[in-house]
Structure 1
Amino acid sequence: MNWKTLDDLDLLGKRVLTRVDINVPVENGLVSDTTRIDRIVPTVRHILQAGGTPVLIAHFGRPKGKPVPEMSLKVTLPALEAALGVPVKFTTLDEAHETIAFAKNQVVLIENIRFEPGEEANDPALAQRLANLGDIYCNDAFSAAHRAHASTEALARLRPACAGRLMAEELDALEAALGAPQRPVVAVVGGAKVSSKLDLLGNLVGKVDHLVIGGGMANTFLAALGHDVGKSLCEHDLANTARSILANAEISGCEIILPSDVVVARSFAANADHKTVEANACSADAMILDAGPETIAQIGACFAQARTLIWNGPLGAFELVPFDRATNTAAQAAATLTKMGKLISVAGGGDTVAALNQAGAAEDFTYISTAGGAFLEWMEGKDLPGVAALST
């Protein structure tokens, strides 16, 4: 797809309807993590510097189409103003026209768009109400791009549209990882369940050269191969599905890397008594909580030969010491190769971001996505409505 960016449009004197994601965590009435706010700053500042008026459209929580006072975006104002370094005018949608008229080259934030019942219904009438407030549409919320909502899809078709800085950065990173990647390409897919990532695995085996499967979902594959996984988290009913994925990978020439050795324990707890055994030697009263050193070495060797890495999900119970070793070691190896200029590394998903941060590796990855569902659907090969609406 081709899309315009902020650099392709004349913003001078224009009201720029800017869809952002500032759905941030709040504790005791204060924003507790400003990451999402910090990431929209380049877009908003560019619009201001180009002489435009950024009109921010965003959601907060799940109010289900009606005003819910505790889900008002007003709570984000102090953090927004601190990040942007300028005052932000707050308005309801009903009063937005008048507020914007008196806000030349100032930042305006419209109240939670999900207070409107037409938002999640992708209502053309709501999209037109929003379009009437501005001259240009800019989507800087990749994390909401997998939803066909009025502010992400219908609105984009009513005004000259472009991708914001964060959206363009995300799309460029994903294109580099899966669209036209430097090969060999290795993907890491971990997490608890195969069932939540069937589409992802099915898409990746046809696109990557090596696929590392870890975490709880690796147990399902091991069981499908006839290995006893004891009390491990495992979806035994998906054994046929796992075998089908393995067969498809063989047909497409994708090497699947499963644990050859595993770390097992009898309790799911930090520092629980544990030992390393072959992948087919988990006793009936134990559970697999991490990949073993032999597997970690194999993953490291795979990374060393690769040019592109895409990562979603941890390799073990990373929240528990010492069952974070495989995730930490592999993440640090990827970060080192990236820093040396030998690897393009793109990662995303909630647990993934937490795991890479815990490993101290996130800062050296080429790109870390905080988009969650949208990142996963892109990896699955699905069209994202909010991105498709920007295509020229």
Structure 2
Amino acid sequence: MGEPLRIGMVGAGKISGQYLDTIAKLDTLRLTALTDLDAARAREAADRTGAEVAGSVAALVARDDVDAVLNLTIPAVHAEVALAAIAAGKHVYGEKPLATSREEAAAILAAAQAAGVRVGSAPDTVLGTGTQTARKAVDDGLIGVPVAATAFMTTPGHEAWHPDPEFYYRPGGGPLLDMGPYYLSALVHLLGPVVKVTGAAATPRAEREIGSGPRAGQRFAVEVDTHVTGVLEHAGGALSTLVMSFDIHAAHLPRIEVHGTAGSLSVPDPNGFDGTVEVFTAGGAWQPLPVSAGYPGAGRGTGLADLADALAAGRPHLASAELAAHVLDVMLTLLDSAHRGQALPVARTCERPAPVGRPV
């Protein structure tokens, strides 16, 4: 085994703990430096990990002991941090979405290609045993030819639990850009890229109220669509129906189902790495499938670990910026379709990602 990939982390907020747990378990990754706008939060993470605190993003990306930057900032600055890291010759792995605009996403991909560095993006949940076992079932023909899928993400809104939820309701947020990457990345793994979308969207409430933490009771403005629905046409011809909402209190809906000419698949929550996949074949009944593919025991940061392994092996990494850029374009085109009232083609495509393979 070679030397571990040395990681500099930007952002030590709520999600960072899950990444730090994964990094601590792996010999292929080592956290060497971190930075956060909140100095106390940065120091707490440094004390936990033994990493050094860098005074700024510029200072972190300039360090000789940082090979790759883990970008855990808010969506509005994902592109800014990624481009700074690429300009310093560092690989990048970031939280979703890759960027908040097509132009930013294109700039990241172009800069990375010119610099000869890798860019990866969450979600890496699709590399776990849940989505990958379902994908293998599709590829093995267990449900025949896929013809349709449904994907539902319904909550009353993140302000109920998050102490600082405003960014979920500003440009770059909303249920589609926040949670859509999990569901759309899974659908691309299962059915291939999306070529056309038809959407509708609404903002039923102009204000929201923080429900927890020291600011509970404070109200803030909503600047994005909070209920988005649409139909996605995949390159292979299958049609997916999508609902992403911060306006539904409870629902008896599956996370993802895929329906084919010979049966159906129930796919576990794509915001998680594992879960039971069930198959229904014509004339039969729902039956659980054994785990047959994916990274077992995966957690957030598995995509970064896959990037490190891919660098060592000279292969493409699976949680790629190309997939993330396609998913971003699908989401933005779906919103454009909703606002314009017409079906629209998706301009940016990608290859269907390679499967993870059988667990070891």
Task: Tell me the TM-score range normalised by the shorter chain.
Answer: 0.3 to 0.5
Q: Which has the higher contact order (CA 8 A, sep 6+)?
A: 2
Structure having the higher strand fraction is: 2
Q: TM-score, normalised by structure 2?
A: 0.38
Q: TM-score, normalised by structure 1?
A: 0.36
Q: Which has the larger radius of gyration?
A: 1
